Structure 1
Amino acid sequence: MTGARLAVGILLAAACGGGSGGSGTDPDAAAPSPVALSISPADPTVVVANGAADAVAFVATVELSDGTTEIADDATWSLAPPQLGDLAAATGKFVASGTVAGAGTVTASARGLTAQTTVTVRVDDVHAGTGVPADAADRFDTAPQPPGSAEAPALLYPLDGAVVPSTLAPVDVQWEGGNQGDLYRVVVEAGLARATAYLAHDGPPFRYDWTVAASSWAVLKASAGGDPVTFRVDRWNAADGQVYPSATRSISVVQANVAGAIYYWDLSDGQILRITSAGREDFIPYPPPKPDDPANRCVACHTVSRDGSKMAAELWGGNEFGAIFDLSVDLTADPAPTIVPPDRYRALFSTFNPDATRLLINFENRLELIDAATGTVVPAMGAGLPAAGAAHPTWSPDGTAIAFIANHDGAWPVDFTLGDLAVIPVTGPDSFGAPVVLRAADGMANAWPTFSPDSQWIAFGRGTHSRGMRDGTPHPGSLWLIARDGTNAVELVRANGGPGAANSYLPNFSPFDEGGYFWLAFYSTRDYGNAYAGTKGTGRRQLWVTAIQNAPAPGEDPSAPAYWLPGQDVATDNMSAYWAVEPPVN
């Protein structure tokens, strides 16, 4: 009994916490507060391999003022830039998109605190061609031979230093060198993205090329972030088992929406073709036939209005009738419908005014103005228009000037060996001032002027002849740029292919001022790539595009090495590229 009473007394004393020296918790003491927030894992790297990658489960941890920690299940999550992937705002689960590589910032917010870490996403796509052995990658693991070996492949395309828009179609990488039985590894890298292709040389018709897969090309362009896109081709030599790398080439991708429609002359077949985002199309398969020669449906010299609504073209041959077509309608009927039929005017070359209500035509060395809706002649007011020695007119986008070739020495505006570059001021509706010479011939033929989109610069050809080729004989020529006031004339050496190169002709500016550049189309007889997938050794005319800095520094070449225009046929001679917005036109 006595022991029982003692035990009860002890329990009561403990329950009451008697005395200031008791060990119980003070109910008035403050709860520990959050003092720091951290994220784990810290700075992870995610590799997206052929579209597959493991998810990352980020966890936010709160450190409390009493030194303890706890998981912050109430954290909210965000990712910048969001293109890198999907970060669940409530759970912190990250799944890489695989559409872009790069580094991003993961942010967690909880209980008034924030924490950040970096997530790095690498995208690695691997492609294998037909007949590639399963151990192909292993064969390239051997230490490569020094670059420059005679056994190394020669990388021919793309051109080193080219500047391309982000809308450019996938590049066809072309090289030469090697034998049947060899393997090739094509490596294309941009930032943290890489595309690798393994190809087997299984004999003809092996073309020594690889067009970068569309999905990989999109990732590479998106991942460049101002860094160059690099290209390299490695050869595994079946004869000695060694790996021989090519030299590396690089191009720059700029964020630029350079699209639209390009209307060009397929000289081999005598037809005008159109390249759009959908590819190459014969949009006018049945041009009006010549009345006295129904088999003659040739379409030759043409021009397109800057708004893409109309095309004027010479039909059937030199000095024949021209016609005007509505590009906003279906032109596949037989014959193709016209706005102005081919019985109203004759012309060789022509150019529309900015709103396409007037067409300036060039016929028998004179310039005339016609109504683009009816084909009737419109009297030229003011100083009138040149009646002799005129060729290759082009109207400025702002409508205030016409550039042309004056005082040429030819019997007609197609063939001449001397010609001045000149400008006619447009002084009012259907009114013109006296021509002003910007660049004298000085023993050469200036030819084919074209205005930049801001109307402040004129690109033109300059060579020994107005044509780049006549009767199979090439004539040296190169591209130049000059300010509209006649100052700052400079040869576009990089666009031409380097010092001394003289096989670039007939420039035409696109309507786009994008990414800090104007985009200039032209044709050239230079080699495109190799002889299997390209045109090497043929001298065939192909269309190229060069990026021109839109704020050229005086005396400096503002051009970049050119890129080949995708969509054209390497088996045909192509020239006269006119660039406009893509149809349909509203």
Structure 2
Amino acid sequence: MWNRLAIVLVLVAGCGSRGGGDDGGGDASSDPLLGLASLTVTPADQTLVILQGQPATSGYTATGTFTDGRIEDVSAFVSFTLGEPTLGGFAASQLTTTTAKGGRTQVVATGSGVVGMTGLTVRLQQTHNDPGSTLPADPAAPFGGPADVGRTPQLVYPNDGVVVPPNLGRLELHFRPGAQANSLFELTFASAVLDLKIYLRCTDPLDGGCVYLPDDQVWLWVAESHRGTDPVMWSLRATDDAGTAVGASSAQAMRFAPDDVSGGIYYWTTTHRAIMRYDFASPTQTVAEQFVGTEMTGGTCVGCHALSRDGTKLVAEAGGQNDGRLLLLDVATKTPIVPFGSTQKSNFESWNMDGSAFVGVYADTGATNFNLMLFDATTGAVTETIEAGGTATNPTNHPDWSPLGDRIAFVNVGGKNTLQMMYNGEIRTVAKAGGVWQPHQVLVPRAAGKNRYYPAFAPDGKLLVFDESTCNAGNTGGECNGDTDPTALLYAVDGIAGGAVTALAHANGPGVADEGATKLTNSFPKWNPYVFRSSTTGGRLAWVTFSSTRRYGLRRPPGNGTLLWMAAVDLDAPAGTDPSFAAFALPFQDIGTSNHIAQWTTQVVGPIQ
């Protein structure tokens, strides 16, 4: 939603300007750049400061070296531009910066086909009073008092090293104020391109701490100054209005991805027994809306669901364990494609690349087919069974169709109960070659005392994440049955070649308020369907969502339920290293409900209410 906020630039004469001359044509003898060999741009590598909303200005000189040895000022005959035009613009050789953000770029001089450049750092320096706080006339003055470690505040959320999309828009910052006497706070965002100080009160107290939500202007300054570049460090100082003493927190890093996240997200809330949705590309939506509840299933709960990649079709299982009736829905018209419950039963599903078919599994009451079943998306009929080693004792479960369309990952159950609650699973794949599904391969074998389940392919079709939970004793128990297990952790493996398994330690990691707890129920991973850049210079980044019982900073999870979390994953991370970053809670979900299985689509089809 926030990617629609305009970045206002002070641009003079467009994004570049030249003082005169011609790059070509005319009388060669009168061409002032004839014989130009190189250009030197000065001042070199300077830093310009945008101070309290006032643009910075600077004149630039282009010095030409010619083939005959002459060295001359040719500023009037070249064009000056910025490599990153959103940072400012030129009138002839005079630069005027934007006031909207800081950043790094190149000043480029071009003439007669010759290019010269130098570096430029634009630094935004700003103080800002939180509009929701009542502050002293000069809120900065009390922070000149003496330092006192007894006044030290504590940063609680988000975790150090978090990466967020620049269009997230809403990222709460949680802190504990330190000493009870602390009533005035200075929040600093600092980097080579930003020096932002925000003065605030604890206007939203919670569980012994404070919640601060940056306003639109603050978000714009911070996110746009660091989009796809170096991290920004945030820290807090605390005092009272008299400046009696000042405590200072440690600093933590926050990064912003270079690209806005797009796509739709559909998740299941057990509290309302409904499927909710949110459109990341919407300029107006701020909270998830209910998409479908029990109105199409005769009052029966809809839960485990899957969306076609293009968002046009939804399949959802109703009734939970030992039911398996399917709702196959046209999303745009919100009408059933076939009558509810008229197809072969299934517990878990996943769609192929073009949305023409989905794969399902069923091993509960009345089951006769324990392998992978392919369903036609128009008729709901089972058109093919993929032999995957499934039996009544060891059925298949949790299928996930690769976005490349060439293979399906799934679970082979080691200890049967129902498919919702099963034990000692292992991760397998089947691949299609020459139009024929090949014999299955074991990707991550079963292990004593472990349950491995819920595989999900990343959008590159190679990296695969899955859950692993640990039993208290033996291979069974409610704590390791694959259904929001307390010990569930996310792991990654090469989904094609297999090999070493790596824990997503940063994504799995607890927050400050969890006080070292590791049983956080990190469950049901799903991926945004796109591969994004990891920085402005390249690399590949993807986003994974999952549910967890960890604390949302100072906020406790709803009852015994879970909230939805999201983490960046580096698809180019070296093998054997953790590719994940610290996770953040999705801000648009209802934090009073228990939320699960955040399925993604490339787009939201049909109007958001």
TM-score, length of structure 1 as denominator length: 0.78
**Residue 469 of structure 2 is aligned to residue 458 of structure 1:** no
Q: Aligned equivalents of 2:387 and 2:467: distance in 1? A: 29
Is there any run of 5+ residues in structure 1 with no aligned partner, and where? 1-32, 63-69, 332-336
Q: Are 1:573 and 2:575 an aligned pair?
A: no
Kindly indicate whether residue 134 of structure 2 is the aligned counterpart of residue 131 of structure 1.
yes
Query: Which of 395, 398, 402 matches 1:396?
Result: 402
> Which entry has the higher C-alpha Rg, 1 or 2?
1
> Taking structure 1 as reference, are residues 429 and 308 closer, same or farther at Cα in structure 2, changes over 3 Å only?
farther
Preserved contact between residue 84 and residue 101 of structure 1 (Cα < 8 Å): no
Partner of 1:509: 527
In structure 1, distance between residues paired with 2:232 and 2:74: 42
Q: Secondary structure at the match of 1:208?
A: strand
Q: Distance in 2 between matches of 1:114 and 1:437?
A: 53
Task: Report the counterpart of residue 372 of structure 1 in structure 2.
Answer: 377
| Counterpart residue type for residue 210 of structure 2 | Y
User: Which one-letter code corresponds to 1:563 in the other structure?
Assistant: F
**SS at 2:384 equivalent:** coil
**Following TM superposition, by how much is the alpha carbon of 1:121 offset from its aligned partner in structure 2, in angstroms?**
2.5
Specify the SS of the correspondent of 2:185.
strand
**C-alpha displacement of 1:266:** 1.7
Partner of 1:186: 187
Q: CA RMSD in A?
A: 3.9
* Residue range with higher mean Cα deviation, 462-471 or 425-434: 462-471
Which digits, 9 at most, give the CA deviation of each residue in 1:432-489, with x for residues without a partner?
6346363213221111111122222321101036987999996311111122333111
| Distance change (3 Å), C-alpha of 1:434 and 1:417 | closer
- Give the corresponding residue for 2:505: 493
The 3 A distance-change label for structure 1 pair 310 and 191 is: farther
Cα deviation 1:15-65 (Å, max 9, x = unaligned): xxxxxxxxxxxxxxxxxx999999998887543345333655668999xxx
Deviations 1:202-258 (A, max 9, x none): 686797122233343333334336321111121114587211111111023332443
Structure 1 residue 548, shift from structure 2 partner:
2.5
Aligned to 2:231: 228
1:357: how far off?
Answer: 1.6
CA 1:451/1:286 → structure 2, altered by over 3 Å: closer, same or farther? closer
User: Which residue of 2 is the match for residue 24 of structure 1?
Assistant: none
Q: CA deviation at 1:523?
A: 1.3
- Give the deviation of 1:150 after TM superposition: 4.3
The 5-angstrom pairing of residues 40-79 of structure 1 reads 46-53=48-55, 55-56=57-58, 74=76, 76-79=78-81
* Matching residue of 2:486: 475
Identify the residue that residue 417 of structure 2 maps to in structure 1.
411
1:258-278 CA distance string (max 9 Å, x none): 321111112221111112223
Shift of 1:118: 6.4
Name which of structure 1's ranges 415-424 and 469-478 shifts more when overlaid on structure 2: 469-478
* Structure 1 residues 435 and 182: CA distance shift in structure 2, 3 A: same
- 1:154-173: per-residue Cα shift (whole Å, max 9, x none)? 10112112233444434221
**Alignment pair present for 1:351 and 2:350:** yes
How far the C-alpha of 1:528 sits from its partner, in A, is 1.5
- Give me the whole-angstrom Cα distance separating, in 2, the residues matched to 1:581 and 1:55: 43
**Conservation of the 8 A alpha-carbon contact between 1:128 and 1:197:** yes
Evaluate the alpha carbon distance shift between residue 180 and residue 342 of structure 1 in structure 2; reply closer, same or farther with a 3 A threshold.
farther
1:98/1:389 Cα in 2 relative to 1: closer, same or farther (>3 Å)?
same
- Confirm or deny that 1:175 pairs with 2:192: no
Counterpart of 2:571 (choices 503, 525, 550) is 550
| DSSP-derived class of the 2:218 partner | helix
Cα deviation digits, residues 166-188 of structure 1 (max 9, x gap): 44434221112354770111112
Q: 1:203–1:562: structure 2 CA closer, same or farther, 3 Å change rule?
A: closer
2:538 corresponds to 1:518 = no
Decide whether the 8 Å contact of 2:151 with 2:245 is kept in 1: no
**Matches of 2:573 and 2:45 in 1, distance apart?**
43
Equivalent runs, 1:441-452 vs 2, <5 Å: 441-452=447-458
Alpha-carbon spacing, 1:358–1:384, altered in 2? closer, same or farther (3 Å): farther
Is contact 1:237-1:244 (8 Å) kept? no
Distance 1:42 1:269 in 2: 61
Query: What is the DSSP-based 3-state SS (H/G/I as helix, E as strand, rest coil) of the residue aligned with 2:267?
Result: strand
Q: Which amino acid aligns with 1:443?
A: G
Aligned residue for 1:334? none
The range that moved more, 382-391 or 346-355, is 382-391
Deviation at residue 401 of structure 1 after TM alignment: 2.0
CA positional deviation for 1:526: 1.1
In the alignment, is the contact (CA less than 8 A) between 2:181 and 2:239 conserved in 1?
Answer: no
Amino acid at match of 1:270: R
Preserved CA contact (<8 Å) 1:383 1:431:
no
1:479 touches 1:505 (CA, 8 Å); kept in 2? Answer: yes
Measure, in 2, the Cα distance between the counterparts of 1:550 and 1:81.
Answer: 28
Tell me whether 251-260 or 441-450 shows the greater mean CA deviation: 251-260
Structure 2 Cα separation of the partners of residues 517 and 41 of structure 1: 36
Q: Deviations over 1:52-86 (max 9, x none)?
A: 33655668999xxxxxxx99994555132343544
Which segment drifts farther, 452-461 or 386-395? 386-395
Q: Is structure 2 residue 299 aligned with structure 1 residue 282?
A: no
Structure 2 residue 441 is the aligned partner of structure 1 residue 424: no
Aligned to 1:582: 603
In 2, the alpha carbon distance for the partners of 1:416 and 1:80 equals 59
| Distance in 2 separating the partners of 1:473 and 1:491 | 18
Q: Is the 8 A contact 2:202 2:211 kept in 1?
A: no
In the other structure, the counterpart of 1:87 is 89
State, as a whole percentage, how many aligned pairs show the same letter.
26
- Alpha-carbon contact 1:380-1:430 (below 8 Å) kept: no
Given that 1:390 and 1:408 are in contact with CA atoms closer than 8 Å, whether structure 2 keeps it comes out as no
Measure the CA separation in 2 of the matches of 1:111 and 1:380: 67
Letter in structure 1 aligned against 2:361:
N
Look up the SS of the partner of 1:53 in the other structure: coil
Deviation at 1:412, TM superposition (A): 0.7
2:215 is aligned to: 213
SS at match of 2:151: coil
Q: Residues 379-418 of structure 1, C-alpha deviation per residue, up to 9 Å, x if partnerless?
A: 3266786555222111112222221111331321011232
Q: Give the Cα–Cα distance (whole angstroms) in 2 for the partners of residues 111 and 445 of structure 1.
A: 67
2:174 alignment partner AA: Q
Q: Give the distance between the partners of 1:231 and 1:189, measured in 2 at CA.
A: 6
Q: Compared with structure 1, are the counterparts of its residues 93 and 320 closer, same or farther at alpha carbon in structure 2 (3 Å cutoff)?
A: same
**Paired AA for residue 476 in structure 1:** T
Shift of 1:564: 2.3
Change (3 A) 1:566 1:202: closer
Superposition deviation, residue 120 in structure 1: 4.4
Mapped to 1, the partners of 2:82 and 2:204 lie a distance apart of: 49
Quote the Cα distance in structure 2 between the aligned partners of 1:321 and 1:110. 70
State TM-score, norm by structure 2: 0.76
1:560 to 570, 581, 586: 581
Residue 303 (structure 1) shift:
1.1
Relative distance call for 1:527 and 1:303 in structure 2 (3 A) is same
Q: Secondary structure at the match of 2:85?
A: helix
